[in-house]
Amino acid sequence: SAFVIATLFTLWNPANLFSNQMMEQAFRAWQSSAVGTPVPIYPTITAEPFLSIGIVAGHYSADKDNYDPGAVCEDGLTEENVNFKIAYYVYQKLSALGYQVDLLQEFDPRLSGYRGQLLVSIHNDSCEYMGEDATGFKVASAVRNAYPEEAERLTNCLIDRYGKETGMDFHFNTITADMTDYHTFNERNSNTPAAIIETGFLNLDRTFLLDQTDKVAQGIVNGILCYMNNEKVSSSDQ
């Protein structure tokens, strides 16, 4: 471009201004400067789609002919019911803060290749009495992640903030392959950080889960905000 401009200035006189001779010489100058120089092709700029936060209500399904309600208590209370109530509270709280949120079913077709800012699936543990230590919550991330450090950060945020909000203990020693290899983890886009949380046991933690659902949901929301805002979680807080 500088070469062409310089050439134009040398040709700039009343005799040849806008003459055929000037235009021909300018064109030849542009050609000689462009030989062997690739013409840059700039991509069309498109807006990056705004990614939602995905919240899965574990075991919830609108298809009542083909679903698994999860744990079922003697009085008929199902894990599905508890999970959905908590998930809906989380959905409402995040939406009120201005986030775009997808409230998803257990086998939601949108989970296939799901791409979002993050994905959290909400579950609960058994109704059966399994001893006095069967109380507390669990959090696990997927075995396979495109960005394992992001999944770990999401998991650590949920552990820290949920524990602080609810006062419950992290029941790490009962995390199983059913959590780390959870089917939803294999369906979503691996670029999406994902975690599963079991917010309590439906036996010893039942009263807290049912009577203080708002606090349970707030603990999950705090964990998500910790991740979204890149807040610190010290190892001493784990």
How sure is the predictor about 156, in pLDDT bands with cuts at 50, 70 and 90? very high
Q: Is the pLDDT of residue 154 over 50?
A: yes
* Residue 235 Rama label (left phi>0; alpha psi -120 to 50; beta): alpha
Q: How many residues can be counted in the chain?
A: 238
The pLDDT value recorded for residue 45 is: 41
> Which one is predicted more confidently, 120 or 19?
120
- Nearby residues of 171 by Cβ (< 8 Å), 6 or more positions away: 135, 136, 137, 138
The mean-pLDDT minimum among 3-12, 44-53, 189-198 falls in: 3-12
Q: Is the pLDDT of residue 115 over 70?
A: yes
Give which of 159, 146, 226, 228 is closest to 189, Cα–Cα. 146
Strand partners, 170: 137
Q: Read off the pLDDT of residues 12-69 as tens digits, 9 standing for 90 and up.
A: 444 444 334 444 444 444 344 444 444 444 444 444 456 999 999 999 987 777 678 9
> Which one is predicted more confidently, 168 or 38?
168
Q: Is the pLDDT of residue 144 over 90?
A: no
The pLDDT value recorded for residue 236 is: 43
The pLDDT value recorded for residue 8 is: 44
Q: Give residue 127's identity as a one-letter amino acid code.
A: C
Neighbours of 102 (CB within 10 A): 17
| C-alpha dihedral (225, 227, 232, 233), degrees to nearest 10 | 100
The pLDDT value recorded for residue 39 is: 43
Task: Provide mean pLDDT across the span 138-148.
Answer: 87
Mean residue pLDDT across the chain: 82
How sure is the predictor about 235, in pLDDT bands with cuts at 50, 70 and 90? low
How sure is the predictor about 118, in pLDDT bands with cuts at 50, 70 and 90? very high
Give CA–CA dist 226/219, Å, rounded. Answer: 11
The pLDDT value recorded for residue 33 is: 40
Q: What percent of the chain has pLDDT over 90?
A: 62
The mean-pLDDT minimum among 28-32, 54-58, 116-120, 159-163 falls in: 28-32
